[in-house]
């Protein structure tokens, strides 16, 4: 009886598996120099850098679905708005697409083209 309970526990526990839902997302770290930039992903505020978020990707290949826009808003003096855009394929097997990086870095003290 004791052996049967152990066997059932092992079977129920099993190995860690990745669901198909997990394969459709990639975890991305967003950091800023200096730290503390306010981060928006596709227009939604998610918090201050450093922060991690999950982005929707095509299964297993880490290519963004649609367009991913990540903005870093200044949190101090002499900082500038920063933005990075990643575009997914327009159609299946489209070679013109961006791979979502593991880490996105924003240098907040670098002026952007639109800075005055």
Helix extents (H) in the chain: 2-13, 20-23
Asked if residue 24 lies in contact with residue 56, where contact means CB atoms within 8 angstroms, the answer is yes
Angstrom distance (rounded) from CA 72 to CA 116: 18
Asked if residue 87 lies in contact with residue 97, where contact means CB atoms within 8 angstroms, the answer is yes
Strands (E), 19-107: 25-33, 38-41, 44-48, 51-56, 67-73, 82-87, 103-107
- With cut-offs at 50, 70 and 90, classify the pLDDT of residue 17: very low
Angstrom distance (rounded) from CA 101 to CA 113: 23
Angstrom distance (rounded) from CA 60 to CA 41: 21
Residue percentage of the chain with pLDDT more than 90: 53
Q: Mean pLDDT of all residues in the chain?
A: 82
- With cut-offs at 50, 70 and 90, classify the pLDDT of residue 59: confident
- With cut-offs at 50, 70 and 90, classify the pLDDT of residue 65: confident
Opening angle at CA 69, ends 66 and 71, nearest 5: 170
Q: Which residues pair with 53 in a beta bridge?
A: 28
Which pLDDT score is estimated for 9? 39
């Amino acid at each position: 009886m004791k052996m049967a309970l152990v066997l059932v526990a092992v079977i129920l526990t099993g190995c860690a598996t990745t669901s198909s839902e997990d394969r459709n997302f990639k975890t991305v770290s967003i950091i800023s120099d200096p730290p503390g930039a306010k981060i928006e992903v596709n227009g939604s505020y998610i918090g201050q850098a450093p922060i991690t978020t999950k982005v929707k990707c095509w299964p297993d290949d880490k290519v963004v679905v649609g367009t991913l826009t990540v903005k870093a808003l200044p949190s101090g003096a002499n900082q500038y708005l920063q933005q990075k855009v990643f575009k997914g394929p327009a159609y299946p097997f489209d070679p013109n697409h961006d791979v979502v990086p593991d880490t996105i870095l924003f240098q907040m003290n670098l002026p952007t083209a639109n800075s005055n």
